[in-house]
Structure 1
């Protein structure tokens, strides 16, 4: 194989994605005009280009590959002035066309460019007969240029070997076939060889060898046997740890804040995953837009690799608007304002205002605009403040407040109305990028009303919580699990009008069935309990209810609970929710998600599984975007109660859990 072809196989870069090109379509003749050559003239030689691959397999995809490599194709709207210039353009096209065919494994391919019987092949120079054939079309018509290709068979791989330099003893890569994922008989394409090269480097870097590289690719093509043998020559490099971690320009963000979100320590074993986790950890700081982690190209005197961290700041102020809709829960709109570096210490202040339709729970309905009343609107105003990295430490201060007027339930089963205000402050301690605990103080004052009566209350509590999250994505997890638990006592000696203890726990797990995470199993369990007070003493907003888009889909929001007098909802003192999903990517952007949900609230302080769980099943559609999947779920109750709708539709961003 020639050195030029070797460079093609080893160095060919992936081409950028192409925009949807209407000029390449011929739908009822609507879009052919853009692909027409310029008009014939005395001053130029426009041409019409055709790719003829005969009966080749996958001719359409191969034609596109050749078009991407062809200078003639890219300059087809730029007519050359004379036959000699056009002939030279044709000659220059031949080697890239051959390289493109070789990159797809067609090593016996034959290519010729033909004009009116005059043929130009690889290695030949344009002659006078070709130039005359081109000039014969001057001021008459477009020159008919045909690229005739006989691809031949796709060559397969026979032997794939890895040669290691500088290694004594056991090889760093014990099973090359498993790492490269190349096996005898696979097509010998450039993309497969590049992917194997990247896999070798990734495997070595995962062994704490940060300087690993492939220094040479030695392909040997047997044209007669139509096979290729390939040897990768790698330099694994030494095993190393992390060295000093330097933080570059951070704009208006204090470097100490950035450093507090870095959990690497000098001397820790080098790990690409640790760098990825560090990038994600730093990116959780609301003021930061992007994180770049750069590795030094050499080890320090201690044999460790220095790391350089650079960040860019997000715009300090944000204002936005969003809307959501569910066929059961109705419409809602929200506006918000946020400042991401309020006092120069990466503090975030966010203000939100929501207006939503408060469902009627008294048996009446809104039949037309004249039936609408002011009480049919619910509202919520909230603020949240975050001061990260207090004094450069791994402690954060959180302050949240909310004022709400809402009505929750349905006409069939009733519900509750509530007006309350809540302020919570807490200190959070981050132990790692996955694990944190928090403790704080909460004060809430409000009034709730339902079938059990009215409760005017004050709650003063001490919320304690713990969180663990090892998943690979917040909005679209494919691996790992999340666990959270909280307990909040509201003792009367702190000023609570009713003494109670509220506990919650949630666990979700994600398992990818394949390496590319196109098939993912996901499951979730949620539990809750209230002890220390009777049901009618607990404010309705503190009782447990299931149902809705983030709970048991197919049932109205917060309508699954015990029933009291007149068959109306009372809420419960305990909760169980569970969901399972199979997330299946049909394409890179479209996915299907069959799911099953079950759950309800219980009257006692602990779930009583002798009581019937409400169940639902459905099918979701996902459209994957750069910011997360757009979710559309259709759910149907499997054991509906009288008055439950047969199906419900949910639309949002992000997976259900």
Structure 2
């Protein structure tokens, strides 16, 4: 006869395995049970799963109070026995959660076997008493899970009609559990969550599973599961109320909310609100809360609850490079200068600038350090978001610097004013005015310049995380004309474009393919008239790893002089080995060219390498080792790079 057992409820299944803690104890790092005494009954615990899979033992360890409390000795024999008896139903439930519905569990306490449905408390307590003060009580959990049952039928019914949903209403791919899969309770719980998420994404904010009926058929070693689902009404977004953060102008906050009342409801839309509002630096937390019922217009009111960050921040960092020497950086920022989320940031740095272009630190002359040997930068940036409550932001910046790199030296001062219009959370267009005056020196000679331009930049970013993207696309394209009629000493137009894309190959984003390409071109002006710091260079940690910074460009002798065009790119496979450790094989390629467009018939330099990632809550810490594949004379065989965040 087919026995159909109806299970009252299914839990979420076993949690993280306790085996790691056993391993620590075996190595002597974990806590051990106390020694026997006249007032306590410590015990030694062993678990025998009769050769069952590791998941069965892990479930027992997670469910067992004997396992969890083994370093605490009960004060009386009957306390220890009751602790063991309380484990029996919990262990059986844990094995049922994995689909082992014929599981048999016995707990042997001091030689007395305890089983469900039997009362041997007094006999076991007497056996425990014999160990008082002389030895730990031996306890052995013996579990025979038996065969693992599988799903036979999974029914998902509309609670309103009692009929199955149509494929248009609920595609089969949503319910990931399917006939023949192990009948684990975690699979049922996951299916319920996926069904609710699906209906919520289709605009049903109150979707819920109203009942769950799993039925086990022992002769067939199978389970049928019936889920009744109430989708609830379809709703649009209602009024969006902003509260909290009283020192931040809420009109500015609303300018970062792109969803509007009347838009279709979905969790994706609410997450978009949270993500976009979180871009305001003055805010430390953004919580999105839904109303518990629809309003009189059949819409769902939304509440945006804010908390503020500390207004001021100050930081100092020190760097050292075997090529460029020491550098010290400092910054100060105010994240809410006038109460409208304005950000003012002051930055300064000083570093060893050296005396000879292109020479590494160890061959520079050893004269006494002079003031002229020091380089530095000082500047500020100011952001006023949400001008007059609109989606327009004001950006103002200025910088003065004296720098000397591998390719050139420059002294400059300049300022820029821009207006940025945010079309959405993913795209914006920026236009402004930029003026700069300076002097550069390189192997081509010295250029004293004045540039006044009109920078125009389009940005698109649909990635999910700024420092460690797993999905989406990034694109930045800019063009800046510097016409002579505005006062520029060299008439030219600088165009740049950078694009990257990211593909997660699995649901948990443990395997990611990432690709990047960069292009640049300068139209107008002769190479020797263009300031060195505006020419294009490739090579280094942000470009082609394995080659020295700025070294991949046209050269005079051994000195790079920069080019009028650029192409470079990278391909990476980002593989998570554990939750915190990852490896990244990569290939980079690139070159700058003297002509205004890349000459692809000329050699392009290629490098390959392997990276190590340590993932933190802030972002991955990056270590990359790269080697040139077609090196030139003088290129080093290996280069090492360390940083925070992915390389692109």
Q: Specify the TM-score bucket, using the shorter chain as the normaliser.
A: over 0.9
| Structure 2 match to 1:161 | 155
Structure 2: how far apart are the matches of 1:441 and 1:465?
Answer: 12
Q: How much has 1:449 moved relative to structure 2?
A: 0.4
| Structure 2 match to 1:463 | 455
Within 5 A, what are the aligned runs for 1:556-571? 556-564=548-556, 566-571=557-562
| Structure 2 match to 1:609 | 600
Q: Give the counterpart of 1:56 among 52, 57, 63.
A: 52
Q: Give the counterpart of 1:443 among 407, 419, 435.
A: 435
Structure 2: how far apart are the matches of 1:137 and 1:639?
Answer: 75
Contact 1:327 1:650 in 2 (8 A): no
Contact 1:208 1:270 in 2 (8 A): yes
| Structure 2 match to 1:263 | 258
Q: Secondary structure at the match of 2:198?
A: helix
Q: Secondary structure at the match of 1:178?
A: coil
| Structure 2 match to 1:139 | 133
Contact 1:574 1:601 in 2 (8 A): yes
| Structure 1 match to 2:79 | 85
Q: How much has 1:436 moved relative to structure 2?
A: 0.7
| Structure 1 match to 2:397 | 400
Task: Report Cα offsets for 1:216-248 as digits up to 9, x if no partner.
Answer: 121111223222111221111222211111112
Contact 1:632 1:649 in 2 (8 A): yes
Asked whether 1:421 is paired with 2:416, we answer no
Q: Give the counterpart of 2:68 among 67, 74, 77.
A: 74
Q: Secondary structure at the match of 2:71?
A: coil
Task: Report Cα offsets for 1:584-622 as digits up to 9, x if no partner.
Answer: 223333222222222211212222222221221222222
Structure 2: how far apart are the matches of 1:298 and 1:445?
Answer: 61
Q: RMSD between aligned alpha carbons?
A: 2.6
| Structure 2 match to 1:286 | 281
Distance change (3 Å), C-alpha of 1:438 and 1:23: same
Contact 2:394 2:420 in 1 (8 A): yes
Asked whether 1:495 is paired with 2:516, we answer no
Contact 1:263 1:433 in 2 (8 A): yes
Q: How much has 1:557 moved relative to structure 2?
A: 1.2
Q: How much has 1:310 moved relative to structure 2?
A: 0.9
Distance change (3 Å), C-alpha of 1:364 and 1:72: closer
Structure 2: how far apart are the matches of 1:329 and 1:509?
Answer: 32
Q: How much has 1:80 moved relative to structure 2?
A: 2.3
Distance change (3 Å), C-alpha of 1:368 and 1:487: closer
Q: Secondary structure at the match of 1:132?
A: helix
Q: Give the counterpart of 1:117 among 102, 111, 117.
A: 111
Q: Give the counterpart of 1:149 among 125, 131, 143.
A: 143
Distance change (3 Å), C-alpha of 1:365 and 1:390: closer
Distance change (3 Å), C-alpha of 1:190 and 1:371: farther
Q: Give the counterpart of 1:199 among 184, 194, 197.
A: 194
Contact 2:547 2:636 in 1 (8 A): yes
Q: How much has 1:15 moved relative to structure 2?
A: 4.8
Structure 2: how far apart are the matches of 1:178 and 1:606?
Answer: 48
Distance change (3 Å), C-alpha of 1:153 and 1:395: same
Structure 2: how far apart are the matches of 1:331 and 1:192?
Answer: 56
Distance change (3 Å), C-alpha of 1:220 and 1:594: same
Q: Secondary structure at the match of 2:131?
A: coil
Q: How much has 1:23 moved relative to structure 2?
A: 7.8
Structure 2: how far apart are the matches of 1:149 and 1:17?
Answer: 17
| Structure 2 match to 1:511 | 503
Distance change (3 Å), C-alpha of 1:158 and 1:252: same
Structure 2: how far apart are the matches of 1:469 and 1:325?
Answer: 33
Task: Report Cα offsets for 1:53-108 as digits up to 9, x if no partner.
Answer: 232222xx433332222222333333222222222222222211111111222211
Q: Give the counterpart of 2:466 among 465, 469, 474.
A: 474
Distance change (3 Å), C-alpha of 1:362 and 1:478: closer
| Structure 2 match to 1:231 | 226
Q: How much has 1:14 moved relative to structure 2?
A: 7.5
Structure 1: give runs of 5+ residues left out of the alignment: 410-414
Q: How much has 1:358 moved relative to structure 2?
A: 4.3
Structure 2: how far apart are the matches of 1:381 and 1:528?
Answer: 27
Distance change (3 Å), C-alpha of 1:277 and 1:327: farther
Q: Give the counterpart of 2:630 among 617, 639, 654.
A: 639
Q: How much has 1:333 moved relative to structure 2?
A: 4.4
Q: How much has 1:334 moved relative to structure 2?
A: 2.8
| Structure 2 match to 1:412 | none
Asked whether 1:318 is paired with 2:313, we answer yes
Q: Secondary structure at the match of 1:248?
A: strand
| Structure 2 match to 1:26 | 26
Structure 2: how far apart are the matches of 1:191 and 1:376?
Answer: 66
Structure 2: give runs of 5+ residues left out of the alignment: none
With the length of structure 2 as denominator, give the TM-score of the two structures: 0.93
| Structure 1 match to 2:248 | 253
Q: How much has 1:624 moved relative to structure 2?
A: 2.1
Structure 2: how far apart are the matches of 1:172 and 1:48?
Answer: 55
**Once structures 1 and 2 are overlaid, which stretch shifts more, 644-653 or 625-634?**
625-634
Q: How much has 1:43 moved relative to structure 2?
A: 2.3
Contact 2:237 2:300 in 1 (8 A): yes
| Structure 1 match to 2:239 | 244
Contact 1:326 1:651 in 2 (8 A): no
Q: Give the counterpart of 1:274 among 269, 273, 276.
A: 269
Structure 1: how far apart are the matches of 2:360 and 2:572?
Answer: 37
Structure 1: how far apart are the matches of 2:324 and 2:634?
Answer: 14
Q: How much has 1:258 moved relative to structure 2?
A: 1.3
| Structure 2 match to 1:390 | 387
